[in-house]
């Protein structure tokens, strides 16, 4: 059985569904800070299965211990964390408390029950560097002034220290790029709050006339002045998780990290142009000034994942936007 932390969040729920589709038993824990119970209902509706769920905070180690005692868990997929570069500048203590405390609590609970198989959902931001071709060998920049980046670096260091003294662990860090898209049939996707933290939901709100415009920063050292990112379909992330689980079966003990990204970089302006094209509306923008230091480019080489996991992205940017727009329209209709 696989435990999915943050399993009702955007990425976690899609991973949960992909596991269920392959007959894998799962249990979900989520504190509902960035999610809703409606997602659990959707998962059960799509899969036609009852899904064990515990509403708890991963930082609550005693409560987490009870989940491990109740279910025969052999693997954990950890998606429960705060993930916004911009928000972390405003709420540094929340990010340190949530992201760092969560991994410590989780590793302690796993260690106590002898569960030694973990997929940790990390980020390309962990490098703390602006680069279009980051590799897994790129050294971390520990001086980058952003709390989210620093928490991700701390999490990976804690994991590395844990493995260093116990080589029975099988651990993989999947360093994700910017994740967009939704389940193809429009019944599962990103839960959009009134003030989304991600660029695509913000753009979709403008397209749906629920927001006047997007504040767009255009002082980056790129061709069009907007930051460049590698956007990846959430279902490609699911494929990477499944490939990692398959690779685990060939390993005795391991600690590896893989860049999971699209090999094509896209500027925010080009992304908004694609949103306009898909939605057939104008996504209006208003120039804004940077409040904090920004990574101008965040892209990666994925040869290691291609070679070892036999993974590569399959879905283009147009499909990412189309799938997310379809789900968003369905939520507006109350579906």
Question: Which residues are marked as active site?
Answer: 148
- Joined together, the tokens standing for residue 172 give 């993989």
Q: Where are the beta strands (DSSP E) in 24-63?
A: 26-30, 53-55
DSSP secondary structure code for residue 311 in this structure: -
Q: Is residue 45 within 8 Å of 54, Cβ to Cβ?
A: no
Report which of 306, 61, 39 is spatially closest to residue 314, judged by C-alpha positions: 306
Give the number of other Cβ atoms within 10 Å of residue 90's Cβ. 12
Alpha-helical regions (H) of 173-316: 199-207, 234-248, 268-279, 303-304
- Joined together, the tokens standing for residue 162 give 């844990």
How many residues are listed for the chain in this entry? Answer: 335
- Joined together, the tokens standing for residue 68 give 């491990």
Quote the CA–CA distance of 254 and 162 in Å, as a whole number. Answer: 12
Helices 317-332/199-207 angle, 10° precision:
60
End-to-end Cα distance, the chain: 31
């Amino acid at each position: 059985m696989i435990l999915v932390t943050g399993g009702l969040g955007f990425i976690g729920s899609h991973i949960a569904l992909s596991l269920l589709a392959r007959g894998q038993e799962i249990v979900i824990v989520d504190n509902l800070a960035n999610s809703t119970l409606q997602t659990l209902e959707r998962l059960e509706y799509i899969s036609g299965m009852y899904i064990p769920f515990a509403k708890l905070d991963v930082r609550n180690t005693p409560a987490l211990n009870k989940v491990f005692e109740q279910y025969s868990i052999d693997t954990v997929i950890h998606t429960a964390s705060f993930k916004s570069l911009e928000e972390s500048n405003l709420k540094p203590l929340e990010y340190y408390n949530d992201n760092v405390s969560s991994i410590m609590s989780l590793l302690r609970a796993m260690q106590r029950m002898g569960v030694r198989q973990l997929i940790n959902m990390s980020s390309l931001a962990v490098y703390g560097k602006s680069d279009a071709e980051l590799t897994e060998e790129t050294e971390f920049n520990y001086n980058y002034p952003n709390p989210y980046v620093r928490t991700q670096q701390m999490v990976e260091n804690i994991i590395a220290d844990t493995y260093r003294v116990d080589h029975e662990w099988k651990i993989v860090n999947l360093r994700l790029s910017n994740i967009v898209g939704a389940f193809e049939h429009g019944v599962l996707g990103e839960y959009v709050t009134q003030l989304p933290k991600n660029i695509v939901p913000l753009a979709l709100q403008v397209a749906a006339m629920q927001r006047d415009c997007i504040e767009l920063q255009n002082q980056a050292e790129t061709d069009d002045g907007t930051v460049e990112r590698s956007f990846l379909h959430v279902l490609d992330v699911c494929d990477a998780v499944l490939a990692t689980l398959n690779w685990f079966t060939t390993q005795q003990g391991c600690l590896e990290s893989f860049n999971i990204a699209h090999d094509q970089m896209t500027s925010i302006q080009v992304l908004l142009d694609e949103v306009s094209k898909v939605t057939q509306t104008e996504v209006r923008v208003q120039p804004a000034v940077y409040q904090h230091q920004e990574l101008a480019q965040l892209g990666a080489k994925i040869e290691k994942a291609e070679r070892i996991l036999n993974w590569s992205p399959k879905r283009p940017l147009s499909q990412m936007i189309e799938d997310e727009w379809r789900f968003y329209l369905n939520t507006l209709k109350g579906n």
